[in-house]
Copies of this chain bind each other. A is one copy, B any other.
Amino acid sequence: MPPTGLKPARAFSAEERTAVYRAIHERRDVRGQFLPDPIADEVLTRILAAAHSSPSVGLSQPWSFIIIRDGAIRSEIRAAFAGANDEARQMFSGGRLALYSALKLQGISEAALNICVTCDRMRGGPVVLGRTHDNDTDLYSTACAVQNLWLAARAEGIGVGWVSIFRQDDLRRILGIPAHVVPVAYLCLGHVRELFDGPELEARGWGQREPLDDMVFQDRWGGRP
């Protein structure tokens, strides 16, 4: 078992590091800023290659990417969203209901294209290295791929919006997704000229970012320095 392939870990310059942090901190969940311009094939390929370059448990690469451009399919998806969102709305009341109802939560039809990112729970066979004690690690791998895709898109000037208000069975039916495959993320992608400078839900008064310090513990849950 020779450790072939070990190479010097080239350092990032200060400028490169700053660029990585720019993508991370300027990434937004886009709902209303999509331009109608198409996404060039080579740009889409780079974005998908970034997703495919994600870590995956046991190198199982459980993801697939369904690129949705067809207008009729998008109309069905939008109707599925509307049905689920009617159910979602009823879970809120009072001022939250009014605010929820006023939020734009998807750009399915305005975006240049949509991508459904799926996780095949059977890919890699019955025993996957690293998935023996946590069956959800393949879903986590797929979510990591979504984040890679999102950051690459930001660097390409493409906005991404993650729409999660669907009954899974609707997505499966409309897109022909088999039962053993989970639709992890439904994404809307398109060029953007403007972005919010913080989370849109914060700008809209729905919630706010919490201080990082509140999320950090030392050595054990609840541990403070």
Contact = CB atoms under 8 A, between A and B. Distances in A.
Interface of A: 1, 3-12, 15-17, 19-27, 29, 32-33, 45-46, 48-50, 52-55, 57-61, 63-70, 73, 84, 87-88, 91-92, 99-100, 102-103, 105, 118, 124, 127, 129-134, 136-137, 139-144, 146-148, 150-152, 154-157, 159, 162, 164-168, 174-178, 181, 184-185, 192-210, 212, 215-223
B55 A27 contact: yes
A152 B151 CA distance: 12
B105 A130 contact: yes
A217 B54 contact: no
- Oligomer: number of copies: 2
Contacts of A131: 164
Contacts of A134: 164, 166, 168
A50 B64 contact: no
Contacts of A168: 133-134
Given A24-B50, A155-B12, A5 B197 contact: yes
A190 to B, nearest CB: 11
Given A68-B219, A92-B127, A55 B162 contact: yes
Contact of A69 (B32, B105, B124, B219): B219
Closest 5 CB pairs between A and B?
A: A143-B143, A16-B19, A19-B19, A147-B147, A5-B203
17 contacts: A3-B203, A9-B26, A9-B157, A20-B23, A20-B152, A21-B152, A54-B147, A66-B218, A68-B220, A69-B218, A87-B133, A88-B129, A130-B165, A136-B136, A139-B139, A151-B151, A178-B221
